[in-house]
């Protein structure tokens, strides 16, 4: 190849490079425009809340973060609540106030779990007061948490539950962050709700509204894919004395596929519109199991999967809550790390797409 041929070849390569680079810039700009348009779409909703716990109820599932949370001091709990608030969370749902016959606050009804601070419930509510968080406070688990039907139906358990609600309200309802109550005994919807579940919810709600008349109430049932879209289901929604129903999307527990989720929530949207009572929220599962479902540790799901989940439910629900930030999401460099390192990848992925604040 002579000098001129080489020069012509180099000139052609430069032109091709410039054309390709230009196309890449245009493609990237177009992709960014699409992303910006998607994020400006009011149907694409950010994560506004998360479940919250002092210790995960299943020891095997909570292995990646239970040991860290067990040792958290008051200062560390404060810092973790602040981290969640800084990420844009405005609602936290305390899963339980007792488990395995012990309470997570100083109680006259049960012995107390020995944790890194004496009264973690007081600490996190005080922190939530400062950082603008609204807490739904649990009214359970008083008894074996795996026997939810028994816990909902047993009269003695109900008496203990009511006493505990009165005790908790007396100690903590003065906090401005005490937004309301969460009733954690879950029902698996089999077409419709069981009558005993409606009784459990309504009896809990009656006491909740008596103790905190301005408080809100929340449930999070599973069996979302099994809902029967008929008049009976609408009537049951009308019977439930509840403010918010955050249905589990059941992706993490592998009962539903991501591509199915939107159709289930669209159906729920139409049913809730007819009932015109409880607001429709979502409980999006941001975890995967390390091994067998319910028999292994919970780990963070990939950001890609979680984003698909969020986009599936966004058009149909008022608010998106996740299960859960604690243990599955951590800000990189967090001084109150609890959970595996991959939890930082999930944080970064959600921040990048605007579902959490960085």
Q: What is the pLDDT along the chain (358 residues), one digit of tens a residue?
A: 433 344 444 444 444 443 444 444 444 444 444 344 444 445 679 999 999 999 999 999 999 999 999 999 999 999 999 999 999 999 999 999 999 999 999 999 999 999 999 999 999 999 999 999 999 999 999 988 899 999 999 999 999 999 999 999 999 999 999 999 999 998 799 999 999 999 999 999 999 999 999 999 999 999 999 999 999 999 999 999 999 999 999 999 999 999 999 999 999 999 999 999 999 999 999 999 999 999 999 999 999 999 999 999 999 999 999 999 999 999 999 999 999 999 999 999 999 999 999 8
**Category of 320 on φ-ψ map: left (φ > 0), alpha (ψ -120 to 50) or beta:** beta
Assigned CATH topology for domain 46-352: TIM Barrel (3.20.20)
Distance CA 203, CA 215 (A): 15
User: Domain limits of the chain?
Assistant: 1-40, 46-352
What's the predicted TM-score (pTM) here?
A: 0.88
Distance CA 143, CA 121 (A): 20
**Category of 215 on φ-ψ map: left (φ > 0), alpha (ψ -120 to 50) or beta:** beta
For residue 76, how many C-alpha atoms fall within 13 Å in the half-sphere facing its CB? 16
């Amino acid at each position: 190849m002579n000098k001129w041929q080489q020069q012509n070849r180099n000139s052609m390569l430069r032109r091709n490079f410039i054309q390709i680079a230009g196309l890449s810039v245009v493609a990237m700009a177009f992709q960014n425009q699409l992303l910006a348009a998607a994020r400006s779409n009011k149907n694409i909703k950010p994560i506004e809340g998360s479940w919250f716990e002092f210790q995960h109820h299943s020891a095997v599932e909570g292995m990646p973060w239970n040991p860290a949370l067990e040792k958290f001091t008051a200062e560390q709990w404060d810092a973790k609540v602040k981290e969640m608030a800084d990420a844009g969370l405005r609602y936290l749902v305390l899963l339980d106030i007792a488990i395995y016959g012990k309470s997570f606050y100083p109680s006259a009804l049960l012995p107390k779990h020995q944790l890194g601070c004496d009264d973690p419930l007081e600490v996190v509510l005080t922190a939530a007061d400062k950082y603008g968080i609204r807490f739904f406070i649990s009214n359970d688990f008083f008894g074996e948490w795996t026997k939810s039907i028994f816990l909902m139906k047993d009269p003695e358990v109900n008496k203990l539950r009511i006493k505990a609600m009165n005790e908790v309200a007396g100690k903590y309802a003065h906090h401005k962050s005490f937004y309301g109550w969460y009733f954690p005994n879950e029902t698996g919807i089999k077409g419709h709700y069981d009558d005993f579940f409606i009784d459990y919810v309504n009896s809990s709600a009656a006491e909740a509204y008596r103790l905190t008349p301005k408080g809100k109430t929340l449930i999070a049932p599973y069996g979302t894919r099994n809902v029967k879209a008929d008049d009976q289901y609408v009537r049951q929604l009308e019977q439930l004395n509840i403010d918010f129903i955050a249905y589990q999307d059941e992706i993490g527990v592998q009962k539903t596929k991501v591509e199915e989720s939107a159709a289930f929530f669209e159906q729920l949207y139409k049913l809730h519109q007819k009932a015109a009572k409880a607001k429709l929220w979502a409980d999006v599962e941001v975890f995967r199991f390390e091994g067998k479902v319910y028999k292994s540790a919970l780990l963070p799901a990939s950001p890609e999967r979680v984003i698909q989940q969020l986009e599936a439910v966004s058009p149909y629900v008022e608010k998106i809550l996740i299960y859960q930030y604690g243990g599955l999401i951590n800000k990189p460099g967090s001084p109150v790390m609890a959970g595996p390192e991959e939890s930082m990848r999930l944080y970064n992925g959600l921040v990048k797409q605007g579902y959490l604040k960085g």
